[in-house]
Amino acid sequence: MSARPSPESPETPIQLVATALGEFLAAPPPGTPGEVVEALTLMAGNPRDPLSPRLFFEAVEQAPSAISITDARATILYANRAFEILTGFSRAEVIGQNEAILSNQATPDNVYQHLWRTIQRKQTWTGTLVNRTKQGGDYLAELIIAPVLDRNNDIKYFLGMHRDVTKLHELEGELRRQKARIETVLDAAPVVVVLLDAAGQVILANQEYQRLVGDLRGQEPAQTLSTALREQVGLDPLAECLAGRAFKDLEVSIVLPGASGPRWFSCSGTPADEVDPSARGFFGRQKPGERRMLLLANEVTARRREVDRAHLENLRARLAEQQLAHGMREALAAAIYQIQAPMNVIQAAAAMARGGNASLATLAGMLEEISRSGARALDTLKAALPEGPREPGVMVNVNDLLRQVLVLATDRLLAAGVVVDWRPAHLLPELPGHQDSLRSLFKHLIDNAIQALGESGRPHRDLLLATRLVDGAVEVAIQDNGRGIPFEDRYRVFEPFYIGWRNRRGRAGMGLAMAQEIVTEHGGSIEVDPDFQDGCRILLTLNAVPADE
């Protein structure tokens, strides 16, 4: 009887015995007792018998899991081929050794203690150990140890099966890291983010959402926002998303307990489909996954309050203007009524004088009456004159003010076909001044230029605005190639009620007089440049307003 290992795969001693037995039984030497052949046949097993021990052995040997059989103290008696491949140890190296040969000392002691307590209670232990290969590499071993009992129910052997789950562990780690990264990003976002299932239950929410839960004293913000969207915008957000429709930037207000005013949120919703996580989905035969809603709510309370405040301011200003106009109308009506009395007396006096039947004393009395009534009417008119609010001095940048006035005048300049040449000084110091007064000064001068260009009838209409620093003062030049101001009128134009326009509509002749007043207030001067012939150039200088202002 000779054992011949196959050249391809080296056979184990058990295999060698099995092969040798097979060969012997295939052609037993003549004279072999029948009982011996029978006993050996039982040992080898019938290869055609599905329950033959040899078949079991081959199945274990060729199994893809690392399988070992130990005695009751974990001394290795057998290891299969997968064990050799995974651990790097040959069978010859491990047989007779304790399984501890695979330990790399990184597994905590209590794991081994639990392992041993379990298997010694004749129960199967399943767990994960950190193993080492013969080459010194680490791998995570998912291990099952099952006790094998003898006829007396005592532990005879242990059957160990393990596989390398290092990759799986790494993937799980990567998944955990990804989740942590997503959570960090979501938590850092200054927006409420919440994922709801089809029943409106919260699956995932960020910190901003949790903060809102606190503000709402435990009330679910998703429900509060959904109700607000339904009631204020007429949209059921969940129904919308479940139907596959997204919505964006819908503003709603919610009232928080104890808060002074409502808080505003701009809400957007996106349908999110999840894949079917069940086992049947493994080969792509999944049921349609559940649809979720990703709800984002961006708080816009500050902006809304600003808009409301601006609206109120605007309303207040309009009311004040209306009140002023109303008051002036009333005062004018009263003055007209009061002026009627001296007019009547004047007419009567004139008639008496013409008839020659009025003494000087009578006429003098009448004149006094006229004077008194006239003074009363004058007082009424004076009282109606609105007193302009005193503007506080602030640091102003003349370039900025001119630019603002130019922007406001853009439409009119375009309509009048005026080409603007804007040449601000690159460096202009800020000076203390009254910015509203200066703005109205610049607006008036630009309005004058537009009218002068209109009245000139010139096809090419140019407006030049320039600033520069001259001896610490800011000089502004406003120059147009319009109709110009005659040389002899260059001082008169600053007199009150002087009007040199052809079209006098809406002109009271006070504009340049007031402009001069504003410039004087700013310690400066204003003049019509006598050297400029091709139109009109107004030159003005501005200094800081006096310190006592």
Chain positions contacting ligand FAD, by CB under 6 A: 68, 70, 73-74, 98-100, 102-103, 107, 109, 112-113, 116, 129, 131, 141, 143, 145, 158, 160, 162
Q: Is the Cβ of residue 65 or residue 543 nearer to ligand FAD in the bound state? A: 65
* Closest separation in Å from C-beta 131 to ligand FAD: 5
How many angstroms separate the CA atoms of 473 and 523, rounded? 9
The stretches of 160-202 forming alpha helices (DSSP H) are 166-188
For residue 16, give the 3-state DSSP assignment.
Answer: helix
Nearer to ligand FAD by C-beta: 46 or 98?
98
Cα–Cα distance measured from residue 63 to residue 415, given in angstroms and rounded to the nearest whole number:
91
What minimum distance in Å lies between the beta carbon of 271 and ligand FAD?
A: 49
Q: Which is nearer to ligand FAD, 98 or 456 (CB)?
A: 98
Are 493 and 485 within 8 A, CB to CB? yes
Angle at 343 between CA 497 and CA 328, to 5 degrees: 50
Least distance in Å: CB of 128 to ligand FAD? 10
How far apart (Å, rounded) are the C-alpha atoms in residues 173 and 184? 16
**Tokens 């596989």 belong to residue:** 163
| Residue 150 beta carbon to ligand FAD: minimum distance, rounded to whole angstroms | 16
Q: Minimal distance in Å, beta carbon 153 to ligand FAD?
A: 18
Strand (E) or helix (H) holding 148: strand 138-149
Tokens for 331? 């005062």
Q: Least distance from C-beta 67 to ligand FAD, angstroms?
A: 10
User: What is the smallest separation between the CB atom of 64 and ligand FAD, expressed in angstroms?
Assistant: 16
* Distance of closest approach, residue 73 Cβ to ligand FAD, in angstroms: 5
The span from the CA of 416 to the CA of 410, in Å, is: 10
Q: How far is the CB of 94 from ligand FAD (least distance, A)?
A: 11
Nearer to ligand FAD among residue 164 and residue 529 (C-beta): 164
Residue with smaller CB distance to ligand FAD, 112 or 247: 112
Rounded Cα distance, 60 and 255, in Å: 70
Upper half-sphere CA count for residue 219 (Cβ side, 13 Å) = 13
User: How far apart, in whole angstroms, are the C-alpha atoms of residue 414 and residue 420?
Assistant: 9
Phi-psi region of 136 (alpha: psi -120 to 50; beta: other; left: phi over 0): left
Closer residue to ligand FAD (CB): 143 or 205: 143
Which C-beta is closer to ligand FAD: that of 130 or that of 348?
A: 130
- Cβ proximity to ligand FAD: between 74 and 438 the closer is 74
| Nearer residue to ligand FAD within complex by CB, 160 or 482 | 160
Which run of H or E residues covers position 53?
helix 53-62
* C-alpha triplet 129, 135, 137: angle, nearest 5°: 40
Sign of the dihedral defined by the CA atoms of residues 403, 409, 415, 418, in that order:
negative
